[in-house]
A and B are shown apart, each in its own frame.
Chain A
C-alpha cells in the first residue's frame, strides 16, 4: 500500500513510576480503517490511545500522524508546544467522561476549536457545526448547555466537536463506558455511521458486538503488549492465544 497510513506506532513503550504499562507496541492504521482495541482494565489500552496524541508522553518509540512524527521534531528534539498543538489538532479525541466545556452551549463547544485553533470564520464554523449536529442527531440541542443533556447526548455532542476539526483519525477512549445501557446504543449507532462514511477510527472499547461488526482490525492488549492482532472474524472465531479465548468466553 503506497498511501501514508493515518497512524503508525513503532516500538512504543511507556512506564509510570517504574511500572511498565506499554511495551513495544506496533500498530499501523490505514486511512478509513476502524481498529478496535480490547483488553481488560489496566492492560494499557487507554494509555496507548493517549500516547497517539501525546497526552501521555511515551518513554520510547515513535508515532506518526499521517506520516508526521508527533512529539519529536526533525532534529530529534522535543517538539515545541506550538508544533505539538498543531499536530494534535489533526486528531480528534472522544473521552469516556465527555469533557464538554460547561461554560459554552452545545454549538459553541463545537465551533470553539475550528475558530480558535484553525482560524475558521465564525459563520463557516457555525454551518459546519449545525451539519455535524444533524449527523449525530443533536441539532435540536444546539443552544442548550451541556449540563442539561443526558450522557448519551453529551457523548454525541463530543463526537461532533471532535469531527469539527476534520481529523485524520478519531480516537475513542471507552466512549460508552460511562453510559447506562440504554444510552450506549445511540452512541454506537453514531460511530457505526462514521465508519460507514470512511472515517479512520481507533476505538478503545468493551463493546464486543461493536468491535465484531465494525472493525477492520481488532487488537488485544495484555499487560502492555499486543498479544493478538487480527481481522474481526478470525479474532472472534479463532483466536490464537489462550488468553483471548478466555476473555471472549467471559464477554
Chain B
C-alpha cells in the first residue's frame, strides 16, 4: 500500500483533527476579540483595576504561549482545579490572545484624533456607548492588518495544544505518522490544511481592507 493510500484511509482522523482545530480557533479568537475590546475600553479608565489589567497584559506578552498552556493544564491541578485538555487549551488561547487584541486596540486608541471623541461627547455620548459606537469601529478598521497577523499567529498556536494532548490537527498527523511511520506525507497534508485556513483568513482580510478603503482609512 502506498503512503498516500494510508493517508486516505486515515482521512477520518485528519478530518476530526481539522474540525477540532477550526472549532478551537474560531471559538477562541471570537471570545478573545470581544474580551480584547473590553480590555481596551477598560484601559481608557484610571482606576486600580486598570493597573491590574495592564500588568496582566504585560505578563501575557512576555510569556510563551506553550508555557501558559502548560500552566493551565499541568499547573492548575496542584491548586485543586482540574481542566480537561480541550478546555484548558481553549482558555489558554482566549486569555493569551485577548491580551494581544487589547494591546493592539490600545495602541490605535492613543493615536485616534481627539476631535472624534469630543464631537461624540458634545452630542451626549458617554462611557461604553461612546466607545462601542464611535471609538471601537474606527480602532478595528485601523488595526485590521495587525488583527490579521494575530489571527494567523493564533491559528499556528493551536498546534501547540497537541503537547497538552488536545486532539487537534497536528495531533492527528502526529498519530498517523507515528503509527505508520510516514512523517513526510502526514505533515504535508497538515501543512496544506493549515494553509487552507490561512488563505481563507487572507481573503477575509482583503475584504476588510476594501471595507476600510471605502471609508478612507489609510491601510488597504
Please report the total number of B residues contacting A with Cβ < 8 Å: 23
- Contacts A95-B119, A103-B137; is A145 near B126 (CB within 8 Å)? no
Q: Does A223 make an interface contact (CB < 8 A)?
A: no
Q: Of A85, A86, A103, A117, which is within 8 A of B215 by CB?
A: A103
Report whether B122 and A93 are in contact in the complex, using a CB–CB cutoff of 8 Å: yes
Contacting pair B129 A116 (CB below 8 A): yes
Nearest neighbor of A118 in chain B, beta-carbon distance? B124
Q: Are A113 and B216 in contact (CB under 8 A)?
A: no
When distances are taken between beta carbons in the complex, the residues of chain A under 8 Å from B126 are: 81-82, 84-85
**CB–CB B138/A103 < 8 A:** yes
Q: Which residues of B contact A146 (CB under 8 A)?
A: 216
The docked-state distance in angstroms from the alpha carbon of A148 to that of B216 is 8
A236 near B: Cβ within 8 Å? no
Q: Does B64 have its Cβ within 8 Å of any Cβ on chain A? A: no
Q: Assess A95 versus B215: contact at CB under 8 Å? Given A102-B138, A113-B123.
A: no
- B122 A53 Cβ-Cβ under 8 A: yes
Separation of A100 and B216 alpha carbons in the complex (Å): 12
Contact indicator B125/A117 (Cβ below 8 Å) = yes
CA distance A97 to B214 in the complex (A): 21
Interface of B is mostly: helix
A55 touches B134 (CB 8 A): no
Beta-carbon contact of B134 and A165 below 8 Å: no
Interface centre among B125, B126, B134 (most CB of A within 10 A): B126
Write the B131-149 contact mask toward A (1 if CB under 8 angstroms, else 0): 0011001100100000000
Complex Cα spacing A86 to B126, Å:
9
Distance between Cα atoms of A84 and B115 in the complex (Å):
18
**Residues of chain B with a CB closer than 8 A to A210's CB:** none
Chain A contact-residue range equals: 20 to 34
Given the interface pairs A102-B215, A145-B214, the reply to whether A165 lies near B124 with Cβ below 8 Å is yes
A99 touches B124 (CB 8 A): no
Give A223 Cβ to nearest chain B Cβ, in Å: 25
CB distance from B182 to the nearest CB of A (A): 51
Alpha-carbon distance between A91 and B122 when the two chains are bound, in angstroms: 7
Cβ of B157 within 8 Å of any chain A Cβ, yes or no, is: no
* B215 lies within 8 A of A99 (CB): no
Q: Mark B88-122, 1 if CB is under 8 A from A, else 0.
A: 00000000000000000000000001011011111
Partner of A102 from the list B118, B120, B125, B216 (CB cut-off 8 Å) is B216
Q: Contact check, B216 vs A81: say whether CB atoms are below 8 A apart.
A: no
Least distance between A75 CB and chain B CB atoms (Å)? 21
- Residues in A with CB closer than 8 Å to B48 are none
Assess whether B124 is in contact with A113, with CB atoms less than 8 Å apart: yes
Instruction: Decide: B123 and A165 in contact? CB cutoff 8 A.
Output: yes
Q: Closest Cβ of chain A: how far from B147's Cβ, in Å?
A: 15
Residues of B within 8 A of A148 (CB): 216
> What are 23 pairs between A and B in contact, CB < 8 Å?
A81-B126, A85-B126, A86-B124, A88-B121, A88-B122, A89-B123, A89-B124, A91-B122, A92-B123, A95-B115, A95-B119, A97-B115, A99-B115, A99-B116, A99-B118, A99-B119, A100-B119, A102-B216, A103-B141, A117-B123, A145-B214, A147-B216, A165-B123
Known: A93-B123, A99-B116. 10 other contacts (CB 8 A): A81-B126, A82-B126, A84-B126, A95-B119, A99-B119, A102-B215, A102-B216, A103-B215, A145-B214, A161-B123
Closest 6 A-B residue pairs measured CB to CB? A147-B216, A89-B124, A99-B119, A99-B115, A85-B126, A113-B123
